[in-house]
Amino acid sequence: MTNKSGKKIRKSSEIVIPEKLYFRIGEVARICQLPAYVLRFWETEFPSLRPTKSNTGQRMYRRRDVESVLRIKQLLYEEGFTIAGARQYLRSEAQGEKRQQAPLPFPTHAPANLAHIRHGLEEILGILSSRHAKA
Q: What is the CATH number of the domain that holds 34?
A: 1.10.1660.10
Section 56-76 average pLDDT:
93
Least Cα distance to 60 among 15, 113, 107, 21 occurs for: 21
44 falls within a domain: yes
Interior angle at CA 81, CA 9 and CA 23, nearest 5: 50
The amino acid occupying position 68 is S
Domain assignment present for 125: no
pTM of this structure: 0.61
**pLDDT score at 94:** 80
Count of domains forming the chain: 1
Structural domain includes residue 5:
no
Q: Is the pLDDT of residue 58 over 70?
A: yes
Question: What are the pLDDT digits (tens) for 89-132?
Answer: 998 888 775 555 455 455 555 566 777 888 888 999 888 888 76
Put the strands of the sheet holding 59-62 in their side by side order.
22-24, 59-62, 52-53
Residue 102 lies in a domain: no
Q: Answer whether residue 132 is part of any domain.
A: no
Query: Which of the pair, 60 or 111, is modelled with greater confidence?
Result: 60
- Is 24 inside any structural domain? yes
**Confidence at residue 32, expressed as pLDDT on a 0 to 100 scale:** 93
In a domain, 114, yes or no: no
